[in-house]
A and B are shown apart, each in its own frame.
Chain A
């Protein structure tokens, strides 16, 4: 059974810092990996999708990497802003197309 772990559980940084969120998974036989953002009281917003054949994806200030062999993904946020404050969730998509979520990293960017 796939297990997804996210470290750290919470992170607080001053505005402008670059930061890295970590995600690890136990079964490397994945189809895709997707990073989401969730604001309090809201749904999940898709940030980046990395296919199993890819090593990274970039969107604006966000860069996500994938290392299937080691069961790891990272989400890099450059020049963080207070508006980036949210919970970031990593989800591994299995061969049957279902997602297994990590417990998330709660990010606070201080102005």
Chain B
């Protein structure tokens, strides 16, 4: 399996622009997570989907952030308008329920810089 695939890997954008981050979870996984990592705050859960339905979005910082999962193989995280304080690494992760527990697998991350 190719693992969790994220794009873009790196993005530099100007303040006020729209940013869309994409994620393809591991095939067969029914849970998908978006995390943000910064030096100051570490890893923070933004939103969690189960079977394509948002379960917990309490970590989404404000209305400028939105996430969708139109089908089991694709999710987007959108920031509109972007601000410099949104600069961070955004990770997508997926997992599935199983007898051995639910190991969570992370993508390589999207490095976002807003200038």
Report which A residues bind B (CB closer than 8 A).
31-32, 34, 36, 42-46, 49, 51, 89, 91, 93, 96-104
B14 contacts partner chain A, Cβ-Cβ < 8 Å = no
User: CB-CB < 8 A to A34: which residues of B?
Assistant: 103-104
B20 contacts partner chain A, Cβ-Cβ < 8 Å = no
B42 contacts partner chain A, Cβ-Cβ < 8 Å = yes
Q: A99-B45, A101-B42 are in contact. Are A51 and B55 (CB under 8 A)?
A: no
Binding site of B, secondary structure by majority: helix, strand, loop or mixed? strand
B50 and A89 contact, CB distance less than 8 A: no
User: CB-CB < 8 A to A98: which residues of B?
Assistant: 33, 45, 48, 56
Report which B residues bind A (CB closer than 8 A).
31, 33, 35, 42-43, 45, 48, 50, 55-56, 91, 93, 95, 100-109
B33 and A43 contact, CB distance less than 8 A: no
**Whole-angstrom distance from the CB of B39 to the nearest CB of chain A?**
10
A44 and B45 contact, CB distance less than 8 A: no
Q: Which of A36, A42, A46, A96 contacts B48 (CB 8 A)?
A: A96
B45 and A32 contact, CB distance less than 8 A: no
Chain B residue at minimum C-beta to C-beta distance from A34: B104
**When chains A and B are docked, how far (Å) is the Cα of A30 from the Cα of B13?**
39
Q: Which of B56, B95, B101, B108 contacts A43 (CB 8 A)?
A: B108
**Whole-angstrom distance from the CB of B101 to the nearest CB of chain A?**
5
B102 and A99 contact, CB distance less than 8 A: no
User: CB-CB < 8 A to A91: which residues of B?
Assistant: 43, 104
- Ordered by A's residue number, 21 sampled pairs between the chains whose C-beta atoms are within 8 Å are A32-B101, A34-B103, A36-B106, A43-B107, A43-B108, A44-B91, A44-B93, A46-B105, A51-B101, A89-B43, A91-B43, A93-B104, A97-B31, A97-B102, A99-B33, A99-B43, A99-B45, A99-B93, A99-B104, A101-B43, A104-B42
User: CB-CB < 8 A to B102: which residues of A?
Assistant: 31-32, 49, 93, 97
**Whole-angstrom distance from the CB of A7 to the nearest CB of chain B?**
15
Chain A residue at minimum C-beta to C-beta distance from B31: A97
18 further contact pairs, Cβ within 8 A, besides A51-B100, A104-B42: A31-B101, A31-B102, A43-B107, A43-B109, A44-B91, A45-B106, A46-B104, A89-B43, A91-B104, A93-B104, A97-B48, A98-B45, A98-B48, A98-B56, A99-B35, A99-B43, A101-B43, A103-B42
